[in-house]
Amino acid sequence: MAREEIRLPEEQAPPAGEPVHLPGPSYLPVITGLGVTIVVIGIVISFLLVVLGGLITLGAVVRWISEAREEMSELPLEH
């Protein structure tokens, strides 16, 4: 049994919904993951690595949040 596809003429098609916003590509999630990895390795090896990984993670997260806030401010206010 073949399944029939129902198509509406263009004038009867419902209007498209709101556009989907996707964030741009970013390296910050990778840097955050690297910082967390250094922290975990530093717990075993050296306190200096914990501090270094924490600073990398903190810097990446702060920058990531500021970029996200900047992108959100560019969206229309009607939502």
End-to-end CA distance of the chain: 45
Give me Rg for the CA atoms of the chain.
Answer: 23
- 67: confidence class by pLDDT, cuts 50, 70, 90: very high
pLDDT tens string 20-46: 777 888 999 999 999 999 999 999 999
**Full-prediction pTM beyond 0.75?**
no
| pLDDT tens digits, one per residue of 43-58 | 999 999 999 999 999 9
What crossing angle do the helices spanning 47-73 and 28-45 adopt, rounded to 10°? Answer: 160
Distance CA 62, CA 54 (A): 12
